[in-house]
Homo-oligomer: A and B are copies of this chain.
Amino acid sequence: MVSRAEFTLGQLAEALGATLEGDPARVVRGVAPLESAGPDDVSFLTDARYRAAAQASRAGAFVAGADVTGLPAPILTVAAPQQAMIDLLLLFHPAPPLLPGVDASAVVAGDARVDATAAVGPLAVIEAGARIGSGARVGALTYVGPDVEVGEGCVLGPHVTLLAGARLGRRVLVHPGAVIGADGFGFAFDGARHRKIPQTGGVVIEDDVEIGANTTIDRATFGDTIVRRGTKIDNLVQIGHNVEVGEHSILVAQVGVSGSSKLGRGVVLAGQVGIADHVSVGDGAMVAAQGGVPSDLEAGGRYLGTPARPAMEARRIFAAESRLPELLQRVRALERAVEALGGGPLGRKGGAR
Contact = CB atoms under 8 A, between A and B. Distances in A.
Given A182-B213, A216-B212, A107 B86 contact: no
Given A158-B161, A253-B256, 11 more contacts: A31-B222, A89-B198, A89-B200, A176-B182, A193-B208, A193-B248, A214-B236, A234-B238, A236-B236, A272-B274, A341-B343
Contact of A125 (B122, B177, B271, B320): B122
A105 B238 CA distance: 32
B290 A306 contact: yes
A175 B179 contact: yes
B254 A235 contact: no
B324 A346 contact: no
27 contacts: A36-B222, A85-B197, A86-B196, A89-B197, A92-B200, A93-B198, A122-B125, A123-B125, A157-B182, A158-B161, A159-B161, A161-B177, A177-B216, A179-B235, A182-B235, A212-B216, A213-B216, A216-B235, A272-B274, A274-B289, A289-B294, A320-B324, A330-B346, A330-B348, A334-B346, A341-B341, A341-B342
A164 interface: yes
A176 B33 contact: no
Contacts of A256: 236, 253-254, 271-272
Contacts of A316: 324-325
A235 B185 CA distance: 8
A32 to B, nearest CB: 6
Contacts of A195: 83, 86
A187 B250 contact: yes
Interface string A317-341: 1111111111111110111011011
Contacts of A183: 175
A270 to B, nearest CB: 8
A286 to B, nearest CB: 13
Contacts of A290: 274, 290, 292, 306
A143 B143 contact: no
A238 B329 CA distance: 42
Contacts of A157: 161, 163, 182
A309 B322 contact: yes
Contacts of A349: 326
A181 to B, nearest CB: 9
A289 B289 contact: no
B125 A185 contact: no
A79 to B, nearest CB: 11
B182 A159 contact: no
Between A122, A187, A349, the greatest number of chain B beta carbons within 10 A of the residue's beta carbon is seen for A122
Contacts of A153: none
Contact of A230 (B194, B328, B331): B194
Contacts of A330: 331, 335, 346-348
Given A86-B198, A185-B252, A327 B327 contact: yes
A140 interface: yes
Interface in A7-43: 31-33, 36
A111 interface: no
B140 A140 contact: no
A159 B175 contact: no
A185 to B, nearest CB: 4
B347 A333 contact: yes
